[in-house]
Amino acid sequence: MDALDGVPRTVLGYPVKTRTQIVMTFLVPVIFELMVYIVLTTADILVTMEHFRNGNPSWGWFTLSLIWLPSLVCFCSIVSNPERWPEEIGCDKRTGQFLFHNIVILVFFPLAALYRFNRRIFWSIEALFHDKNSYGRAQSVGKILETSPCELYHFLQAFLQAAPQMMLQLYILLRDGTFRNFDTVTVQVISIVFSFLTMATIITTFQRFESQKIVGRCYPWSTPEQATIRRKELLRATSTAESALAQNQTPSIAPEADPIVPNIMRNFYSRYGSEGGQDSTSNSNVAPSSPRKTLNVDVINFDRQLSKAHHDPYVNYTDDDKLQVSDTVDGSETVKLRSTGRSVSFKLRDTIEELEEMDHYLRSTEDIRNMTDDSDDEYLKPDSFDAVPKKLAPPTPEANGGVFHRVSVFRNMLLHNAEAFIKEKVPRLPEGMFEHGEPTGRSNSDRKVPPTGDQTDGDAISLPSRRQMIVGLEQDDMIGKSVLFVGWVMFLLMRMLSLSTFYVFFPLYFWMLVGNHYLLMIACIVYEVRLHEKLERYFFYLFLAYMYVFSLLEFKIRFIHVRWWYIGYIGIVLLENVAMLVVWFNLGVFESWWFYFMHHTIIVSGVLSLMCFLFYYAFLRPKDKVLFVNDNA
């Protein structure tokens, strides 16, 4: 298996080198995420200090709690997962080390995150110094792709720290009298901007995660054992289109080579020379076991009109010369048939033998009766070529049930496909609905044994069998991720500014709007998972609906109708943003130029986000990845 399996191999349709893949997929994104994380964490800490310095302890404690919230939720998620605990049951040394390790990460989470980023950067650079398909390259890429609980912390940071932090700091900035301390305002603006970047990075990374997970991608925070088992199970149970075609090669329909033809040609080359045609002078010193015969042709053999006329080689010979030539031919001597041009040297006896062998071969082939020759070279045909065949024509095969048998096979195939489709799409079918067993009341003597002759007589048609496929999605390349990232930055800017500004003027209607949107997202999630998911992760669905207040992710649930999900969600969010914008701009009371700037920013960011999404969907979206389920899985 390739170490870079799943990594985009092309950029804008053009193949790139493996080092370019590593740089554009691992090194550049990790360096960008490291810079954003450092600036965001530093800005949030400075904002907390500014709030305490300005006499706003409530805002300070709230900002500080948002900084610690992702780390705390990550710690609770890891500790509550039994698969992450040591195998031994009880309080032993390994259990104590596990708890101590996670508590240290909880307290010093910024250092743990920096260690994770630096580790990935180191192995990304290390992979560049190794050749393709080498052990060092595979080891370095494996280190880059190692799973870690810190990845769960980064995912939670986008929705538990960055999103509420943006809403809080925007609300504080939009209040009256907030522009007096410009140092605080500067730090708040930096915190808001990098919160946008953090959210857009996570949303772009996990945009279509479920469609990518079914074809090989793993959760970056799963345990190494889970990732290994998942990878091995996928390799065992599925196969790509290329490997499936290689395993199931269709046999060639070309006719097999007749075994008589090589024998005739071998005999011809043994008498008249090999294909290579070595120079006769090179073998002049070697005495062959039998004299070598050569067959030379004249220009007349390549002229169709002249070749039609029969040329008698003895036309200029007298009777005495013919008798002398006949004696010489019988004595195995070479005869020159023409006085001018190239000579034709042959044995008459050999020519007769060759003609007899050719006649025997033509008569021995069964399909010679079906051959037609439109050539007008009648003198080339044997005299008895068009004779009545000695064997009788084969009897016409009886059509006893042949057509009806083909129809029955086609009917059974349609029934099988319909049953498979119903089992896949309809949940909770009645038991025994598609069991085609024999009734219990019938005896064995009443059962009709299907004839076995139809299975081998060729009446059964060969129809393609139904094979289960898994259709997923490849990962985005660097250009696609960049355009999608800009689109989500503009979308989040429009969404956050609309919500924050509307909350300043109409806080009650703000909570009503957000609550209705939240309930609508829960209803859509429940409707989506009614067929292919279990309704047992209620708490997670509540958190997923909270994420859908700001953005849309195919995470933990796979969308059946992806296009309708994205069109509906973007349409609903745009409608809500336009309604909030119209209400607060016309009914709100404000005098500052800041709100006019917010009004234009919301409109421009919404238009830019739509343009980026349409361009991405039309030109840069990744291709589908198809895997075939193995029959022995």
Whether the predicted pLDDT of 348 surpasses 80: no
pTM recorded for the entire structure:
0.67
Q: What is the pLDDT of residue 488?
A: 95
- Cβ(43)–Cβ(187) under 8 Å? yes
- From CA 132, how far away is CA 559, in angstroms rounded? 37
User: Hey, is 129 helix, strand or coil?
Assistant: coil
Three-class SS of 60-105: HHHHHHHHHHHHHHHHHHHHCCHHHCCCCCCCCHHHHHHHHHHHHH
Is 528 inside any structural domain?
yes
Quickly list H helices, 238-312.
Answer: 241-247, 260-272, 304-308
Neighbours of 127 (CB within 10 A): 27
Domain that holds residue 549: 10-245+470-630
10-24, 185-199, 200-214, 328-342: least confidently modelled range: 328-342
Per mean pLDDT, which of 158-167, 342-351, 414-423 is the most reliable? 158-167
Angle at 374 between CA 369 and CA 378, to 5 degrees: 90
- Residue 399 within a domain: no
| 347 vs 583, higher pLDDT | 583
Greater model confidence, 46 or 439: 46
Asked, for residue 4, whether it belongs to a domain, the answer is: no
CB 484 within 8 A of CB 207: yes
Query: What pLDDT score does 287 carry?
Result: 43
pLDDT for 552 equals: 93
296 pLDDT more than 80: no
Out of 55-59, 107-111, 251-255, 388-392, pick the least confident: 251-255
The pLDDT of residue 279:
43
Residue 57: pLDDT above 70?
yes
CA dist 473 and 558 (Å) reads 12
**Does residue 346 lie in a domain region?**
no
Does residue 331 lie in a domain region? no
CA distance 52 to 58: 8
Tell whether 456 is covered by a domain. Answer: no
Number of domains in the chain: 1
Which of 110-114, 150-154, 429-433 bottoms out in mean pLDDT, i.e. has the lowest? 429-433
% of the chain residues with pLDDT over 70? 65
Write out 426-480 in H/E/C secondary structure.
CCCCCCCCCCCCCCCCCCCCCCCCCCCHHHCCCCCCCCCCCCCEEEEECCCCHHH
Mean pLDDT of 118-140: 90
Integer angstrom CA distances of residue 428 from 39, 165, 421, 531: 52, 45, 14, 9
Residue 413 within any structural domain of the chain? no
Nearest CA to 105 out of 86, 87, 79 is that of: 79
Residue 120 pLDDT greater than 80, yes or no: yes
Bigger pLDDT: 412 or 463? Answer: 412
Residue 253 has pLDDT above 60, yes or no: no
pLDDT at 631: 65
Question: How would you class 85 by CB atoms within 10 Å of its CB: exposed for 0-12, middle for 13-18, buried for 19 or more?
Answer: middle
Q: Is the pLDDT of residue 236 over 50?
A: yes
d(CA 399, CA 405): 10
In a domain, 181, yes or no: yes
